[in-house]
Amino acid sequence: GAVVSQHPSWVICKSGTSVKIECRSLDFQATTMFWYRQFPKQSLMLMATSNEGSKATYEQGVEKDKFLINHASLTLSTLTVTSAHPEDSSFYICSARDWTSGSSYNEQFFGPGTRLTVL
Amino acid sequence: AQKVTQAQTEISVVEKEDVTLDCVYETRDTTYYLFWYKQPPSGELVFLIRRNSFDEQNEISGRYSWNFQKSTSSFNFTITASQVVDSAVYFCALSEAYGGSSYKLIFGSGTRLLVRP
């Protein structure tokens, strides 16, 4: 089955530093990847849609300069939280769409998530 | 605008009870997809089901069943004979069928299910 990995699974950093989170599709090509943020006991909120080779599309209210997304290959997208602050502490989840499955609906597969804690 | 409402914030049942999780959605699209995901304490989302808007047949998978009713814009999820391992947060989600927005998923707020022994 399609597998999406995220690295790291958790990270603790100091306020003001930048953190990069990787999302990889391990056994399929993903032209589109999505980044979600989930605060404790809340739902998943889409942050941005990342298309391979082009700029990400950010949802309203998400700061582009703070959450840098790069989707340079068909199997890797990265989310960089720049100048992180305690309010950025959250659970970040990526998902990837498989264009090659041949199904009428291109499935979206989720990574295991990355828990970011900013001190 | 698309919206998913899960009115039940938290449900607590005793093991072996049946439990139904409600999901009501809003969309202007005539073709769309509905989903249910399970999120155990580990955090990883577990896909449970996808339903196409043209397919209103109810589905049963083991102890799980889903009731899709377009007339009431609902896609409810029932767990029969609940078990402690069913304790998790369950999310209902909606996606448009044509990739104008790249099939992004709109999630409900989730229902936390606690199954007590």
Closest partner residue to A91 (CB to CB) among B43, B97, B101 is: B43
Q: What is the DSSP string of B42-93?
A: T---EEEEEEETT----EEETTEEEEEEGGGTEEEEEESS--GGG-EEEEEE
pLDDT at A104 over 70: no
pLDDT attached to residue A103: 55
Distance from the Cα of B41 to chain A's closest Cα (Å) equals 11
pLDDT attached to residue B82: 97
pLDDT attached to residue A61: 94
Distance from the Cα of A18 to chain B's closest Cα (Å) equals 23
Average predicted confidence (pLDDT) for chain A: 90
The burial class, CB within 10 Å (0-12 / 13-18 / 19+), for A10 is exposed
Contact A108 B103 (CB under 8 A): yes
pLDDT attached to residue B117: 96
Contact residues, chain A, for B108 at CB < 8 Å: 43
Residues of chain B short of pLDDT 50, as ranges, are 101
